[in-house]
Amino acid sequence: MLKEILKNLITRKRTITFPTGFPIEPGQTVKLVDIQGKLDTIFKRSLRIRMVDAGSCNACEWECQALMNPFYDLQRLGIDFVASPRHADVLLVSGPVSRQMELALKKTYFATPEPRRVVACGDCAVNGGIYRGSYAVTDGVANVIPVDAIIPGCPPTPSAIMLGIAQLMNKDVK
């Protein structure tokens, strides 16, 4: 099954069927063409993501970095990571938002142009994760800025992150 997925990705097929063991139901098909169409509808161009580490252990960042390797190749869908929030459409935030990063996250949010979306990536960003209740964190991104989508997991796999971005696009179109 993994060989088939690799073959489909290498030949640039626009549909991926995930095998057992991925965080979505086995045999579920995600149509990548639908994602591109929704990007055109919402943003009128490619989607740009600004990754914000708000105090995480860096496991989520490693999984997001894997999205750019030849296996997942997120750029073929027109989705890319950018260095400046001024060029971003989506903020992908990881970590429980430490008190020291709270103001920086708010400034990054307001520096991102409209229509901006925020995705909480990983259990820590969703609800504080293992750091929940600590005096040093805010227990999740939603306690600091509005969140449009969540991607649970510790850390979430690259396929789960891709699925979370697809769900964000589905939410926006409806």
Of 36 and 118, the structure prediction assigns the larger pLDDT to 118
Q: How far is Cα 120 from Cα 91, in angstroms, rounded to an integer?
A: 8
The 3-state DSSP class for residue 93 equals: strand
Question: Domain 2-173 carries which CATH code?
Answer: 3.40.50.12280
Q: Sort strands 47-53 and 79-81 into parallel, antiparallel or unpaired.
A: parallel
**pLDDT tens-digit map of 56-71:** 888 988 998 988 888 8
Confidence band of 75 (pLDDT split at 50, 70, 90): confident
List beta partners, residue 29: 17
Ramachandran quadrant class, 21 (left: phi over 0; alpha: psi -120 to 50; beta: rest): left
How many C-beta atoms surround the C-beta of residue 140 within 10 A?
24
Residues 6 or more apart whose CB falls under 8 angstroms from that of 65 comprise none
Residue 88 half-sphere exposure toward CB, CA atoms < 13 A? 22
Domain residues of the chain, as ranges? 2-173
pTM passes above 0.85: no
Selection from 124, 142, 126, 147 nearest residue 134 by Cα: 124
Are residues 143 and 121 in contact, defined by beta-carbon separation less than 8 angstroms? Answer: no
Confidence band of 74 (pLDDT split at 50, 70, 90): confident
Residue with tokens 């992150």: 161
